[in-house]
Structure 1
Amino acid sequence: MSTRRETVRQALNESAGFRSAQDLYADLRAEGSKIGLTTVYRALQALSDAGEIDVLRTDDGEAVYRACVTDTHHHHLVCRSCGKAVEIEGPAVESWAEELARHHGFVDLTHTVEVFGTCGDCAKSTA
């Protein structure tokens, strides 16, 4: 694995919650890294393709990234306010998706489900 990819992976491991490529790039540059933004994007894509990081789209369509906690299929419950993310399993979602695909004659099914809300800590602070 390339040193640059490992640099990006380490930055994600040290981050709490999901981070954009631009945020990671800014953090790395602030720490003195000479890495370029294009390299950050390439490293994130390679890590995503390898299943080593989680990727989701925010409400405004921006891709954000996080180091995977588990290597099994999972979904995320994400706080809109602070970005806290919890990895969740969704057996009901899995069954629903499989039944839907079967009903319509689809095979080789994949899916992405992300649930957004406000975490308990953020809800308390706004109350």
Structure 2
Amino acid sequence: MTKSRDAVHEILCQSRGFRSAQDVFAEMRAVGSKIGLTTVYRALQSLSDAGRVDVLRTDEGESVYRACQTDTHHHHLVCRECGRTIEVAGPDVERWAEVVGAEHGFIDVTHTVEIFGTCSSCAEAARSRAEAAGKS
């Protein structure tokens, strides 16, 4: 599993954004790997458990992965159009999660927060397309 896990991690390290398990599988097969899709899923889970990859769920509910850029707890701001992702700290979110957990008697509270929007580059491109369409 270590060899497969390392190969999957390497694909994610070379990627610019988040990738689905199917994307990773297809890329590995395209370069001649004999890895199976189930092995890719297991490797991604193992990497996630070890804190070596970030995982988030898209608006469609699909899990996507990327190599962690930092070792500290963080959240993601993700462009719905191009997938550009920025890691952000959220001290207010951290405090809120602890308070909400404590109010209900929970301890060892963890959370994930992913923020989706449209980046300025994609928004500008959409405005340009709309203006061009309006002129025709």
TM range (shorter): over 0.9
Matched residue, 1:100:
100
Q: Does 1:43 align with 2:40?
A: no
Quote the Cα distance in structure 1 between the aligned partners of 2:118 and 2:31. Answer: 31
More helix as a share of residues: 2
List, as ranges, runs of 4+ consecutive aligned residues in structure 1 with deviation greater than 6 Å. Answer: none
1:74 maps onto 2:62 in alignment? no
2:9 partner amino acid: R
| One-letter code aligned to 2:48 | S
3-state SS of the aligned residue for 1:82?
coil
For residues 54-85 of structure 1, what are the alpha-carbon distances to aligned partners after superposition, in whole Å with 9 as ceiling and x for unaligned? Answer: 00111111000000000100000000001111
What's the CA shift for 1:98?
A: 1.1
TM-score normalized by the length of structure 2: 0.91
Aligned position for 1:112:
112
Percent of matched pairs sharing the same residue: 65
CA RMSD of the aligned region, Å?
A: 0.9
Superposed, which structure 2 residues align to 1:59-70 within 5 Å? 59-70=59-70
CA–CA separation in structure 1 for the residues paired with 2:104 and 2:39: 41
Task: Give the drift of 1:31.
Answer: 1.2
Q: Deviations over 1:2-55 (max 9, x none)?
A: 111110000000011100000011111111111111110110010001011000
The alignment of Structure 1 onto Structure 2 pairs a total of residues equal to 127
Aligned to 1:9: 9
Which blocks of at least 5 consecutive residues in structure 2 are unaligned?
Answer: 128-136
**TM-score using structure 1 length:** 0.97
* Residue ranges of structure 1 left out of the alignment (5+ in a row): none
AA at the equivalent of 1:36: G
